[in-house]
Structure 1
């Protein structure tokens, strides 16, 4: 009887009155002492209000039922498909919406509705995949900063592929803890390509020079990422990164040689495993005996350039002599580069000219880095206070090194 009176009254009440009445009816359903028949009648009344022409009424329903576990299931589903101003609270909080329903709402919703879904306390990986594939830019940024989002690696890379040139997107992704190495590499590639296109369009660099600069800066960043992956994710992290680099065409002989000349053997070892199909232990043993025929066979089986073989052997020899460099900011070792240049020049009869040109570029880069480091050290010593600073600091430390994309952009622009 009460429900009948309510529906009759709603025919002539104003929108504001109906919205207030809808809120009262919703609270009665959730918290009132109703028997089964009365509860069913109230539910029918609420469903009729879900089609009320006034958004105020439907929003009142959404606000009251957004977080309710006992809300009418059909009503919640109807509100979730309403306009985003009404659906937002339900999409962002309702525990009744299934993963399949959320994916469907991503497909039909606008940026506001998608953002509400992206900011849920827990976002399943299927919903994350849908947002990464078709979500608006704002929704993807919101998803990236949400610690409750279960975003798989391929979805992260898809977000980079779609919005990698957006600074907010990169910052949001880099704020995620334990960001996979393959995603960091994809971010670096997106920044490099965006800046390369910018300087070419401005006429500051030729296509050829910009392409070379793009490759070199990307390779430098990937060597750093490999070092981080080895430190935090172990051998599996390096293997996954190498597989990603191979898939996107960035696993080049110059990158692998650069890693060796930076004192990092992990990338070379993982690359031989990935390209040759041999297991980890077999490849490690062959690299230890890098002067043997077995190493040469594995090297050629991996498809690496035969004319580069002397350089790789000289690099491994220099690495054995000067030790494995494992700093979190690996740079080309000038002494190792010079050692490889000397070895290649002694056997060059014209076939190694291109290789020597690459090594000379490595030598120039290493010498410049060494000069910068020495200049900074001398300047710091000259301006250092007489009182030595404390040797320890009890403040909060970072969880691990991250790629500084701002510095990367600045370096690329300066070049």
Structure 2
């Protein structure tokens, strides 16, 4: 009898009254203890209300059903296909919707629907992958900032590829815990690309000069990110760089001249197809013949081989007692040896390489100067503090130390 009264109420000419009735009827179905016949009638009535022309009525249904695991599935699926402001209510919360439902809604829905899906308490890798392919920057930012979103590295890379020029999205991705190394590199590379485009558009640098500066800055950042990474992370990073055309001879040469031998080994392993242990043995071959074979198998430019061989020889000579953190990022001694090895080459073959090595040397010299300036500044600060301490206090401290030693 109560259900029939609700049904009569839903025929009211006022949309507001019909919405009240729809909400009450849906909640009665979901939470009241109804007998089987009344429950069937209530479910039928709720389903019929989907045809109401007023969005107020359908919104009332969506609000009532959004969090309910017992909501009728046909009703929830239909509401998820409704106008964006109604669909978003169930897309954001309903436990009734499956991954297939969510992927379908992401594919054909409005951007508001995608944002709602991106903010769900839990988003599966399948749904994250679908959003990564079709969603706009704001939905992807919301997805990246959602701790309940299980986003795979491949989906994160796709997000960067499609909308990595959006600063808010880059920040949200970088803030994710345990971010894969290759994703972090992709984000920083995209930032460098955006800055390069801005500088070129402003006319501050020529496109060629801007592109070169950006490439070299990206290489420095890549090696900085790779520092201290475990072998598996380096393997994935190198594979990603190769797929995207960033595993260049210049980057590998910079890694070698910076004494980043873990990265160098990973790069030659990927390019040569040999086992990492075999690559390590050839790189460290004291006679140099193993490195020659490895270099040629990796398919790197023949014109650069003398510089690589000279740099590797210099590294072997200074490897004892040397750590990757020793000195500046680039070794000026290794650079000098590489330049010397190129002196006998024809100008047409060597000028670009020598120019690159000279830029490396200038960069290393600037880094040495920075380190020295910081050291001098630190010593001056310590001296200033000591000068401010009264001589009597220092003498008293010295006497106390002597008594303790005795």
Considering the TM-score relative to the shorter chain, is it more than 0.5?
Answer: yes
Residue 12 of structure 1: how far off its partner (Å): 1.9
Distance 1:40 1:329, change over 3 A: farther
Q: In the alignment, is the contact (CA less than 8 A) between 2:292 and 2:309 conserved in 1? A: no
Instruction: Report matched runs for 1:3-402 at 5 Å.
Output: 3-228=3-228, 230=229, 234-289=230-285, 291-320=287-316, 321-322=318-319, 325-327=323-325, 331-345=329-343, 350=347, 352-383=350-381, 386=385
Aligned partner of 1:2 in structure 2 is 2
Residue 378 of structure 1: how far off its partner (Å): 2.6
Residue 102 of structure 1: how far off its partner (Å): 0.2
SS of residue paired to 2:306: helix
Residue 15 of structure 1: how far off its partner (Å): 2.2
Number of aligned residue pairs: give it: 382
Residue 333 of structure 1: how far off its partner (Å): 2.8
Q: Give the Cα–Cα distance (whole angstroms) in 2 for the partners of residues 141 and 349 of structure 1.
A: 52
Deviations along 1:375-413, one digit per CA (max 9) or x if unpaired, are 2333344346738xxxxxxxxxxxxxxxxxxxxxxxxxx
State TM-score, norm by structure 2: 0.88
Residue 303 of structure 1: how far off its partner (Å): 0.7
Residue segments in structure 2 that go unaligned for 5+ positions in a row: 387-406
Q: Give the Cα–Cα distance (whole angstroms) in 1 for the partners of residues 13 and 202 of structure 2.
A: 63
Tell me whether 38-47 or 149-158 shows the greater mean CA deviation.
149-158
Higher relative contact order (CA 8 A, sep 6+): 1
Residue 190 of structure 1: how far off its partner (Å): 1.3
Q: Give the Cα–Cα distance (whole angstroms) in 2 for the partners of residues 164 and 75 of structure 1.
A: 38
Q: In the alignment, is the contact (CA less than 8 A) between 2:291 and 2:309 conserved in 1? A: no
Deviations along 1:122-148, one digit per CA (max 9) or x if unpaired, are 111111111111102110100111111
Residue 89 of structure 1: how far off its partner (Å): 2.3
Distance 1:335 1:227, change over 3 A: same
Q: In the alignment, is the contact (CA less than 8 A) between 1:189 and 1:218 conserved in 2? A: yes
Q: Give the Cα–Cα distance (whole angstroms) in 2 for the partners of residues 72 and 349 of structure 1.
A: 79
Distance 1:307 1:325, change over 3 A: farther
Q: In the alignment, is the contact (CA less than 8 A) between 2:29 and 2:42 conserved in 1? A: yes
RMSD: 2.2
In our comparison, the structure showing a higher alpha carbon Rg is: 2
State TM-score, norm by structure 1: 0.86
Residue segments in structure 1 that go unaligned for 5+ positions in a row: 388-415
Deviations along 1:255-282, one digit per CA (max 9) or x if unpaired, are 0010111120122211211111111111
